[in-house]
Amino acid sequence: MQNNALIIVAHGSRKASSNEEIKALGEKVKSLQDKRYALVMTAFLEFSTPSLEESILSCIDKGVNEIVILPYFLASGNHVTRDIPEVVQKIHASHPQVKITLTEHLGSSSAMVRLLSDMAFNFNKKL
């Protein structure tokens, strides 16, 4: 098994059930990626815990030497373009031995077009 981690970072919500949805999603991804990543975690920027910084530091404390950060955001607003990169840069500066890779945000994936199209098609079939 790899000595690496995947952190899915979401905005976070005042509504606890919304945060639980993200955590459940993380568990589903974990079950699909358990051979690729030693750890799969979720993190939040606001309103919930753990924060992105807490999740990254937890991985480092567990001896992980490579971390992939996947922003669970549809558009490239301030959290994607500023806040998440700032956290990554700050932690990398104090832990240069750990490779931290920030992926593109979810909404930028070419798979999103297919997903939306499939969802619209499946909805239309129900009509």
Which positions are catalytic? 11
Q: From residue 92, how far is each of 10, 20, 37, 64 by CA, in Å?
A: 20, 28, 20, 13
Residue with tokens 């490579």: 66
CA distance 28 to 37: 13
Q: Hey, which residues does 99 pair with through a beta bridge?
A: 66
DSSP 8: E
Six token digits for residue 99: 């490779």
Backbone angles phi, psi at 22, to 5 degrees: -65, -45
